[in-house]
Amino acid sequence: MSGAIRLAVIGLGKIARDQHLPAIASSDAFELVATVSRDGARSDGIPHFEEVGDLAESNIGVDAVSVCTPPQVRRAVAQAALARGWHVLLEKPPAATLGEAEALRDLACARETTLFASWHSRHAAGVAPARAWLADREIRSVRIAWREDVRVWHPGQAWIWQPGGFGVFDPGINALSIITHILPRPLFVTAADLEVPENCAAPIAGTVSMCDSAGVNVAMELDFLQQGPQSWDIAIETDAGTLRLAKGGAEVSFPDGRQPPAENDGEYPALYAHYAELIRAGESDVDLAPLRIVADAFLKGRHRQVAAFIE
């Protein structure tokens, strides 16, 4: 494919406005040609449609889409796009269930179109240096603390508490996307304790215990009601000391105190650079390891009812 990739953004919620649209605007690889949203949100000067079918029936040429809807409707939207031969980027999590994500992967393969199950936190500045440093180390334990205030980061987003909305795992899956990328062996959930508000279908806090195939313990703490300082931290103890990732992977500290400079312009610009590379190469990137861990935590977890969540 030569020239700019003609891109439509489907779903214009907070993440699309805050991250996707600015990243697309700064990219030479993409041209934003349309937006789709049922709630009336739109980008100034860009053709807008309420349904994917309306876009398909227009005279606008589309090569690719970015699907930024809530996960509960993501499969249907992505399926319609893939059926039309459009390349598809899925905001995380890629779907509401593993089965949906696997079906989209198979459809993209059959249609010979690119499917990118994107994990933006893997493109945080500290992740690549951390992965390279850990490659030659013996890992002894991992601790994850992901604590943020849902009222600050997800205001008014009722879908996050509904079935398929993930609750605290919506941010927590970012941590899982990092550790499944930088650790050398697959992870398995051994136990989970999930706190579910009495008026919600998804957890608001919890812990997840994991181990890798060599028996290394990985402990995760999640809290969606954190007040004061927010924390998105990972500490990995190795035979050469403790490596620390902070601010969601944006900062890495090696045991000797070194902090390497950032090697990219931000998570979402790097995400779109990778999306363009995949399309040009005719390839897909559909790693479902983070989603599988969330599914296993729901399956193996103890679900405890706690006080109602009132925004």
Active centre residues (catalytic): 92
Q: Which of 94, 293, 73 is nearest to 180 (CA)?
A: 293
**Element (DSSP H or E) covering residue 219:** strand 217-223
What are the two backbone dihedrals, phi and then psi, of residue 297, each rounded to the nearest 5 degrees? -65, -40
Specify whether the CB–CB gap between 147 and 202 falls below 8 A. no
Q: For residue 248, what are the contacts with CB-CB under 8 A and spacing of at least 6?
A: 121, 124, 174, 232
As a whole number of angstroms, the distance between CA 205 and CA 194 comes to 6
Specify whether the CB–CB gap between 185 and 217 falls below 8 A. no
Bridge-partner residues for 244, per DSSP? 235, 253
Place of tokens 């180390």: 137
Give Dmax over CA atoms of the chain in angstroms.
60
What are the two backbone dihedrals, phi and then psi, of residue 64, each rounded to the nearest 5 degrees? -150, 160
